[in-house]
Amino acid sequence: MDNGPPRGTRDLLPDSVARREAVMAELAGSYARFGFRRIETPCIEDLSRLSWGEGGDNEKLIYKILRRGLDPVVAAGIALGDLVDLGLRYDLTVPLTRFYANNAGKLPLPFRAMQIGPVWRAERPQRGRFRQFTQCDIDTVGEPSVLAEAELLEATLTALGAIGIEGVTVRVNDRRLLAALAAEVGVSESALRAFYVILDKLDKIGWNGVRDELVEQGHSGAVGGRCEQIVSLISGAGSPDGAIARAADLLPGMAESVLTELRETFDALSRVGAAAPPGALTACLDTTVVRGMGYYTGQIFELAHPDAPSAIAGGGRYDDLVGRSLGKKVPACGISIGFDRVVEMARFAPPDLGVALLHSAEVPRWEVLEMARRVRLEGDSATLVSRRGQLKVQLATLQSAGYSSFVVVEPGGVSERRPLRG
RNA sequence: GUGGUCGUAGCUCAGUUGGCAGAGCGCCAGGUUGUGGUCCUGGAAGUCGGGGGUUCAAGUCCCCUCGGCCACCCCA
């Protein structure tokens, strides 16, 4: 009998949970100091809300839930839509927009939300990639200016710093810049999505691969070449400001406001970097950052770290998403930390398990319980441990398990409470 | 969803052309020690991921299936 959890999910042992809780508390504490308030939404949502047509692939990844009360045997030819009506959320952003639309009247403007919770995607699992995983999300709803982006990035970098993660690279791009690039090289509106996906793969397949795939998609050979020319010139500028200046020259179709906002974001990042330890933060304009979710409308971000194989955080502006639920356009922006990807990288002090009360079987049980009670009344943790084997071996085991002190209770009496030391 | 690769004790892994299921560590017991990982002796423990097939005989060969890892796809 296989007692393992379902594929792509994990059991978490006490030490893992202790680490996760401690890291989570640090992140949440950091976010709270920026004014983000924690909310919770259900794990399930109406399927129609989760699969509103954005990205056919994403819909396939949703875990769908059968309607209640179906007959044990369903008729042949019945449509899937008649069998399922709910689904497990695949991110925290879509539920947030429903939450906001439902509660807008009780929320301040702008509303800064923090969410920490599990999401599900029915992907093929790999290391660092699960079917159930945890996101740490912060979002600002109702702030149209780039103040939201600057604040979200600073909060995320501060939170990562609080758990000891430094040397982060912030890759910034803008969906409007991407659209201007596509227009400039002659990619039609309908081919936009596929064009973005190919561009996103540049760091994996190189320019040769990008050109090949563009041709495969039916673009002329000139598209790839022109694309490479523009992207290389921008990324070769050496500084974000230089990159923005070149982007302005090369992509005349882009609105001035896009450039201004990018400058503001980089200015904010450089100020954050100046206040942080040297090397803790680098930022660049990377015109190949795309982000998978289709709902982004403005600046988009991906945070990379040399120790992480893939992005540790990502996000961006999604000004049209709340409007789908609320019926009235409300600007919004958010960033999500991939909790499962940063938790192992985080600085972590194991919790103190307190006092181990080593008792032999000869000691009356009530006496041991009484002792433990007294320890707990003093505010410490106490755990009853049966005395067995060699004392020195048992003490060493307890020490490495996380206990900080011990008491030996024997029929002859009770020892002093002594510290366990390495 | 597609392709590759692996799956033997709690853990890390050996296991030859198919021929009695193994080691180290850990765990348990006893001795030594007697308030800090000593040493010695002994012990428990595996339907060899699961199912089917070939064979006198399968951990080993074949098929299916489940799971891990890797590359796609996509993403945090």
Structural domains present in chain A: 14-42+90-345 (3.30.930.10), 355-419 (3.40.50.800)
For residues A406 and A349, give the distance between their C-alpha atoms in angstroms, rounded to a whole number.
20
Between CA A51 and C1' B3 the distance (Å) reads: 29
pLDDT the model gives residue A352: 86
pLDDT for the residue numbered A422: 55
Residue A86: what residue type?
A: L
Q: DSSP label at A162?
A: H
With CA atoms as reference, report the closest residue to A120 among A94, A90, A149, A96. Answer: A90
Q: From the Cβ of A364, is strand B under 7 Å away?
A: no
Which two three-digit tokens encode residue A15? Answer: 């030490």
DSSP A123: P
Are A320 and A332 spatial neighbours (Cβ–Cβ below 8 Å)?
no
Note the pLDDT of residue A1: 45
Predicted model pTM:
0.89
A124 CA to B3 C1' in angstroms comes to 13
Q: Which pair of structure tokens corresponds to residue A358? A: 């080593």
**Mean pLDDT split into 10-residue runs, chain A, 422 residues:** 79 86 95 97 93 65 89 80 90 94 95 96 88 94 96 96 93 94 88 86 85 85 89 90 94 92 96 88 91 86 87 92 92 94 87 87 85 91 84 81 86 81 64
Which residue's entry shows tokens 């081919």?
Answer: A191
Give the strands of the sheet with A64-66, arranged side by side: A44-46, A84-88, A64-66
Could you tell me if A14 and A6 are in contact, meaning their C-beta atoms sit under 8 angstroms apart? no
**Nucleotides of strand B under 7 angstroms from a protein beta carbon:** 1-3, 27-39, 47, 49, 66-76
Q: Would the Cβ of A414 be found within 7 angstroms of any atom in strand B?
A: no
Query: Does any strand B atom come closer than 7 Å to the Cβ of A167?
Result: no
**Structure tokens belonging to residue A183:** 């227009």
- Go through chain A and tell me how many residues it has: 422
The reply to whether A408 Cβ lies less than 7 angstroms from strand B is: yes
Q: Compute the distance between CA of residue A199 and CA of residue A207 in angstroms, rounded to an integer.
A: 9
Q: Which of A172, A157, A169 shows the shortest CA–CA distance to A276?
A: A157
Give A356's strand partners. A383, A406
The residues near A82 (Cβ < 8 Å, ≥ 6 apart) are A67
ipTM for the complex shown: 0.81
- Checking each nucleotide's C1' against the CA of A410, the nearest proves to be B35
The pLDDT, as a whole number, for residue A180 is: 93
Q: In A296-355, where does DSSP find H-type helix? A: 321-326, 339-342
Round to whole Å and give the CA distance between A96 and A118. Answer: 14
CB proximity A226–strand B (7 Å threshold): no
The 10 Å Cβ neighbour count of residue A221 is: 11
What pLDDT was estimated at residue A149?
97
Q: How far is CA A327 from the centre of its chain?
A: 28
CA A263 → C1' B53, Å? 69
CA A407 → C1' B39, Å? 27
Q: How far is the CA of A406 from the C1' of B72 (A)?
A: 54
- pLDDT of amino acid A292: 74
Closest residue (Cα, C1') to B34: A391
Of A193, A180, A173, nearest to A226 by C-alpha is A180
Q: Measuring from the CA of residue A91 to each C1', which nucleotide is nearest?
A: B76
Q: What is the DSSP string of A36-69?
A: -EE----SEEEHHHHTSSS-HHHHHTSPEEEPTT
> End-to-end CA distance of chain A, in Å?
40
Read off the tokens for A232. 């290389």
Q: Which of residues 325-344 of A touch strand B (CB under 7 A)?
A: 336-338, 340-341
What does the alpha-carbon distance between residue A145 and residue A143 come to, in Å, rounded to a whole number? 6
Nearest Cα neighbor of A187 from A251, A246, A244 is A251
| CA pair distance A137, A335, nearest whole angstrom | 6
The confidence score (pLDDT) of residue A58 equals: 66
